[in-house]
Structure 1
Amino acid sequence: MSSNHNRTRPPSLPADGGRPRRRLKTKPLLVLLVILFVGNLLWFIAWLIPNQPGGAEEVASVDGEEITRQEWMAAMEELHGRDTLLELVNEKVMATAAKEYNIKVSDKEIDLELAMLRSAQEGVDKTLYAADEEQLRDNLKTQLILEKVLTKDIVIDDKAVESFYQENQSLYDIKDAYRSRIIVVDSAAEADKAISELENGTSFEALAKERSIDTATGSLGGDIGYITKGQSSVDSKIAETVATIDVDGWSDPLEMEDGRIAILSVTEKAEGQTFSYNDVKEHISRELALEQLPQSVTPEAFWREFDAKWFYGE
């Protein structure tokens, strides 16, 4: 058996001794990032497809009846065109807003948001982490511009910011995070067969799609996003084991709480970071200001200001 199969370690206690920690809002950001990623992915697929005069090229056929490139592209636009174009317009709108209001977003700010996003998952957000890091950073930049525009006229007292930091300092002591994949089977015998195939060179991603009985993760090649040691929102056996697996290695079969058997793999390790008060005070101030807004605001609210128009009209 591979040296990757190490003994599990017990989950660590929070630095504050288990005291409940107040978390700032993350759901709207997660939802927006998922939408942005899906839009960008579809746009990239369309960009890869070369233009053909008339669009009459056959791309598939069923019982001798052809499906043309034009039909394919029309179906893609009907299903996804509006969302893809919406994402592109909003990206341009926020870039224009940044110039208009002289808003800057630094790499260090994006580093913080990315670390916070990985550590603050309330569940397994698989679609979000299917994005490559460069695209994710671009999407975070767009979101930060929006938040800075929305909060530029809201003043938050420094004492409130410092008080929040003191009460929630452990939020900014970010643990190591492990991007993971999983294969779920219903018996130890099936798990042994899967490990045998892995040892013979089958890719973990392909095997997850073929053998995992968990269809939600299996369809994504087993991707379950970033997991931290002791994370409460995933199966305890996974949370205990993830930190013991080498990158590109896999675990021994794990019996999960529901009785199913899992094989866990780690594809990437994101090193933990500790952020000081000076690192996070602007982040906290902005989040506290966002909580004062009466409702959520999207980039579309700025279309009229920056004369944005699109194919779909109003």
Structure 2
Amino acid sequence: MKSTRNFRTTSTPPTNTPITQRRLKTKPVLILIAILLVGNLFWFILWLLPSKNHASGDEIVATVDGEVITRQQWLSAMETRYGKETLQGLVNEAVMDKAAAQYKIKVAEEEVDLELAFMRSSQDGTDTTIQNLSDKELRQKIRAQLILEKVLAKDIVIKEEAIESFYNENQSLFNIPTSYRTSLIVTESKEDAESALKELENGSEFSVLARERSLHTSSASLGGDIGFITSQQTNMDPAISAAVQKVKVKETSKPFVLSDGRYGIVYVEEVLEGQSFTYEEVKGHIERELAVEQLPSAVAPENFWEEFHATWFYGESK
């Protein structure tokens, strides 16, 4: 189907990947690529805001062998390294809000809830978006993505039969298992695991101990947080999936052996009960997904900057 707008600039090669695979893998990745650029660095903006306690750029934030590093040096370095991506994300969110008003597009909280449920159930082990963003930030990013997709799909007609057929043929996509927000500590031996557990029982914070002692490098820097996992997850050690199902919310497991012979301890932060979505609940979602599938090229929020007269510090045209 020919595009209804002429602002697409990035070509997308044809793909033979089944839509049932792309729904839970490609689609979340497309959302999360944009989210990750901003989410991991969003906190940086907070440090740029003036406060009465840190009004002076000469405040010393670190010393090395007597040589000082000032707040101004620190903020300047962060702006140089991360400022562009952070600002770009903020502009994109504002542009999508303008697009929603212009095209009279609404995004209900239930739609965001649905996307969150799909995202949590299909979380890739290498993706740390959920861990890096607060719930509010994550919902903001999802809302902006939904606005973008609705703008692009607004003039594409999808027949009712196609929507019903997709729902009937892909029931498993809409039956989401119970998921557990989990943190993990991995140790070399059972003795090390028991030592870590004793520290936790004596009052140590799980996140602090994970940073100090966990051998699971991808989660250690995140305080052990590995996001939401399910019993049906194939990219997770089965021992971890089994362990979380035995632990109550806000509690820590006993040490258990992992498939590689090392030992693990898990902490369950939150449990989201499984959900089964009816056709009516996901009809709009499927219709939008099928419409976006028909677009001949990729579009990002930056393609709307000119339309909504967006400018920024870096002065580059998008």
Give the alignment's TM-score, normalised by structure 1: 0.88
The structure 1 residue matched to 2:88, chosen from 86, 89, 96, is 86
Change (3 A) 1:208 1:155: same
Secondary structure of the equivalent of 2:245? helix
Q: How much does 1:36 deviate?
A: 3.2
Shift of the alpha carbon at 1:243?
1.7
| 2:116 alignment partner in structure 1 | 114
- The alpha-carbon distance between structure 1 residues 50 and 168, as it changes in their structure 2 partners (threshold 3 A), is farther
Distance 2:195 2:54 in 1: 46
* Change in CA separation of 1:132 and 1:125 when aligned onto 2, cut-off 3 Å: same
Inter-partner Cα distance in structure 2 for 1:22 and 1:69: 47
Give 1:283's aligned amino acid.
H
Deviation at 1:54, TM superposition (A): 6.5
Which runs of 5 or more structure 1 residues have no equivalent in the other structure? 1-19
Q: Is the 8 A contact 1:232 1:239 kept in 2?
A: no
Q: 1: distance between equivalents of 2:53 and 2:303?
A: 34
In structure 2, distance between residues paired with 1:242 and 1:64 = 47
Query: 1:162 & 1:266 partners in 2: Cα distance?
Result: 37
From 59, 69, 72, the equivalent of 2:71 is 69
Structure 2 match to 1:206? 208
- Alignment match, 1:251: 253
| Structure 1, 76-85 or 240-249: larger mean CA deviation | 240-249
CA RMSD for the aligned pairs?
A: 1.9
2:32–2:129 Cα contact (<8 Å) kept: no
Contact kept? 1:125, 1:224, Cα under 8 Å? no
Q: CA deviation at 1:122?
A: 3.3
Contact persistence 1:156–1:288 (CA under 8 A): yes
Q: Distance in 2 between matches of 1:268 and 1:137?
A: 17
Partner of 1:153: 155
Q: 3-state SS of the aligned residue for 1:263?
A: strand
User: Structure 1 residue 23: deviation in Å?
Assistant: 4.8
- How many equivalent pairs are there? 295
Shift, 1:29, TM fit: 1.2
Structure 2 residue identity aligned to 1:306: F
Superposed CA offset, 1:206-226 (max 9, x none): 111111122221111100000
* Cα contact 1:30–1:128 (8 A) shared by 2: no
CA distance change for structure 1 residues 274 and 75 in 2, over 3 Å: closer, same or farther? same
Deviation at 1:184, TM superposition (A): 0.4
Tell me, yes or no, if the aligned pair for 1:124 and 1:225 is still in contact at 8 Å.
no
Looking at structure 1, the residues matched to 252 and 169 of structure 2 have their Cα atoms a distance apart, in angstroms, of 38
Equivalent residues of 1:118, 1:226 under 8 A apart: yes
* Corresponding residue of 1:292: 294
Q: Work out whether 1:180 is the aligned partner of 2:182.
A: yes
Query: Among the aligned pairs, what percent are the same residue?
Result: 49
Distance 1:28 1:281 in 2: 21
By how many angstroms is 1:40 displaced? 2.3
Structure 1 pair 78/158, CA: closer, same or farther in 2 (3 Å)?
A: same
For residues 194 and 267 of structure 1, the distance between their equivalents in structure 2, rounded to whole angstroms, comes to 18
Give the drift of 1:60: 2.5
User: Residue 40 of structure 2 contacts residue 132 of structure 2 at CA under 8 Å; is this kept in 1?
Assistant: no
Find the aligned partners of 1:160 and 1:126 in 2 and give their Cα distance: 34
Counterpart AA for 1:29: I
CA deviations over 1:5-38 (Å, ceiling 9, x no partner): xxxxxxxxxxxxxxx9645132111222222312
- What TM-score results when the alignment is normalised by the length of structure 2? 0.87
Out of 224, 229, 235, the residue aligned to residue 226 of structure 2 is 224
1:277 is displaced (CA, Å) by: 0.5
The separation in 1 between residues aligned to 2:304 and 2:144, in whole angstroms, is 13
Q: How far 1:196 sits from its partner (Å)?
A: 1.1
Change (3 A) 1:108 1:70: same
Contact 1:36–1:87 (CA<8 Å) still a contact in 2?
yes
In structure 1, C-alpha distance between the alignment counterparts of 2:49 and 2:290, rounded to whole Å: 40
> Structure 2 regions of 5+ residues with no counterpart?
1-18
Query: How far, CA to CA, are the matches of 1:76 and 1:184 in structure 2?
Result: 32
